[in-house]
């Protein structure tokens, strides 16, 4: 039997953290943040570390407040969110149908499986200068870059999910006279949804990582661009401010995605068993 490469690796590693470790999250994370800030503050008070290398928390806080007041923080956040989500949406729109095709169609499987198996582990950021050549220095290159980075994750998790639809489900649908179209929409898609969402939950942070990296390379609006110019001027408070802003944005997106998953899968055993 011919095995599809995309099955070799069950797409779950990245989601195991919000899954298994979730029980003690929430409160303990707030405590962790508080403890880390205290340690940070302690170090800056102690004065043993050059404040150029480790600025005091209040300095960074002032920088954030100043960026917020001038409106720069908001416009940076919006620019980053726009590129990340536009790329994410495109990768879903293109990747889910291709993943379904790989799982359900022999020719698509034959043609795309080797391409996905080469594309999946490739460090996609290496293509950024190529996209700049093709799409110019601007937001469209960034969006193409983000789409490309997330695409293979979406495709392989969709293909993996749609290949393992329980046979009895398909048999029952067929014997009840469902058309191939109806089977795709009402059996294959819902049954592979948890796997597809696993892929999307891995792809979303990848989109943010890629957006920030692309902004650093291309420049322009966005958290990455601002961080890059801060580091060019050796402005450590600016770099720390960007780090905090991007961390908060990442946490927001990850938690939002987890909440959306529960919403979408409210009918699924996974949600009901409270996993």
Which of residues 124 and 261 has its CB atom nearest to other proteins in the complex?
124
CB of 23 to other proteins, least distance (A): 10
Contact call for residues 133 and 217 (beta carbons, < 8 A): no
Which of residues 133 and 182 has its CB atom nearest to other proteins in the complex?
133
Q: How far is CA 253 from the centre of its chain?
A: 8
Closest CA relative to residue 152, chosen from 128, 126, 121: 121
CB of 142 to other proteins, least distance (A): 13
Which of residues 74 and 248 has its CB atom nearest to other proteins in the complex?
248
Which of residues 15 and 188 has its CB atom nearest to other proteins in the complex?
15
Which of residues 97 and 114 has its CB atom nearest to other proteins in the complex?
114
CB of 30 to other proteins, least distance (A): 8
CB of 53 to other proteins, least distance (A): 6
Return d(Cα 97, Cα 100) in angstroms, integer: 5
Return d(Cα 221, Cα 228) in angstroms, integer: 11
CB of 114 to other proteins, least distance (A): 5
């Amino acid at each position: 039997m011919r095995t599809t490469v995309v099955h070799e690796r069950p797409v779950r590693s990245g989601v195991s953290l919000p899954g298994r470790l979730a029980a003690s999250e929430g409160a303990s994370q707030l405590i962790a943040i508080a403890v880390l800030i205290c340690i940070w503050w302690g170090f800056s008070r102690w004065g043993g570390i050059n404040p150029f290398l480790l600025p005091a928390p209040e300095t960074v806080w002032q920088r954030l407040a100043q960026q917020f007041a001038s409106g720069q923080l908001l416009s940076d956040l919006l620019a980053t969110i726009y590129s990340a989500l536009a790329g994410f949406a495109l990768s879903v729109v293109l990747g889910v149908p291709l993943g379904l095709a790989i799982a359900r169609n022999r020719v698509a499987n034959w043609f795309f499986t080797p391409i996905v198996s080469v594309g999946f582990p490739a460090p996609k950021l290496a293509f950024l200068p190529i996209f700049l050549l093709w799409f110019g220095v601007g937001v469209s290159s960034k969006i193409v870059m983000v789409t490309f980075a997330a695409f293979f994750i979406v495709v392989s998790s969709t293909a993996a999910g749609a290949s393992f639809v329980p046979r009895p489900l398909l048999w029952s649908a067929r014997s009840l006279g469902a058309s191939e179209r109806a089977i795709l929409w009402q059996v294959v898609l819902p049954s592979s949804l948890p796997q597809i969402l696993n892929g999307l939950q891995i792809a979303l942070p990848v989109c943010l990582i890629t957006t920030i990296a692309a902004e650093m390379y291309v420049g322009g609006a966005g958290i990455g661009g601002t961080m890059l110019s801060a580091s060019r001027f050796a402005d450590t408070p600016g770099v720390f401010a960007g780090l905090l802003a991007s961390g908060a944005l990442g946490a927001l997106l990850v938690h939002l995605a987890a909440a959306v998953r529960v919403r979408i899968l409210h009918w699924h055993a996974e949600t009901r068993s409270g996993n």
